Amino acid sequence: MNELKVIGREHIGHIEFTGIEGGFGKDKKAMLVKDIAQIHSTTVSRVNELINRNRKRFKDGLDVIDLKQGDFAIVLNDSGFTQNQINASANIYLLSERGYSKLLKILEDDKAWEVYDQLVDGYFTMRAEAKVTKPRIDSDKRLEIMSENAQTRKGTLLYRIAMQTKSETAKQALLAKAAELITGEMTIPVLLKKEYSAGEVAKRVHASSGQMVGRIANRLGIKAEQPGQNEYGRWANSKSQHSDKEVPQWMYFDKGVKAIADELKRAKEAV
């Protein structure tokens, strides 16, 4: 790891922060999370929480350095930290350009990309010995990050919609799509088993009503304890016909439908 050094206060437009070099490579610029939090009008604790929650995505020495985990007392003192702040902080993170770009993916901040352009063009790519800015715009990289961030936003929106959906089947489908957008994989399976309400079962087995189907199910003892499921079906919440409250409803799997049909058949043969 290259030696860290504080190069003073930096100004990019209206943005002011502590300039730091080293740690991630010779002449490589880095930024403290406390400055990033201020730039994005949020708190250090929120940014730290986002990093810690996604810690496996931030590689030590490439994306992030925790200044609390090494002998960085001089850097911390030169960066404006008091001893009380140092003692009270569980982590004091320093991010490279790569680490900062990863953070942007999870910040969900309308200001993020405007700030990213200014910092990449005016700070991260500027060598210490050069007093004039020489922008290096990596358009392919930026487009890739923006695309991934857009996918994450779509996934988050689908997740929120799923949480408001009454149909469990539709909810699972939306969650599966959200997971695919965010992770690139269908990590949450869409329900494979078909489900039927008591009324739908009544139509399939030619019973007189859904209430009759429910009575047969109770007599056969095929309903699981609430909340739960078994091979015959599962409990789900559905909107009451007479109010806005949700009530538990037993949904039948194909095996549950067959059990009702077989019982009706036995009853007819016994007559």
Contact predicate 49/106, CB 8 Å: no
Considering only residues 191 and 224, tell me which one the structure prediction assigns the higher pLDDT. 224
| Residue 16, helix vs strand vs coil | strand
pLDDT digits (tens, 9 = 90+) for 136-171: 445 566 666 666 667 777 777 777 787 777 666 677
Strands 5-12 and 15-21 turn out to be antiparallel
Best-predicted range by mean pLDDT (35-39, 152-156, 214-218): 214-218
Task: Please tell me what DSSP assigns to residue 72.
Answer: -
Helices (H), 68-167: 73-78, 83-88, 97-107, 112-119, 139-163
Three-state DSSP state, 42: coil
Average pLDDT, the chain: 77
Of residues 131 and 104, the one with the higher pLDDT is 104
The whole model's pTM is what? 0.43
Helix axes 168-183, 139-163, angle to 10 degrees: 160
32 vs 91: CA distance, rounded Å = 11
Model pLDDT for residues 248-258, shown as the tens digit of each residue = 889 999 999 99
* CA-based torsion, 181, 186, 189, 192: positive or negative: positive
pLDDT in tens, 61-82: 889 988 888 777 656 666 667 7
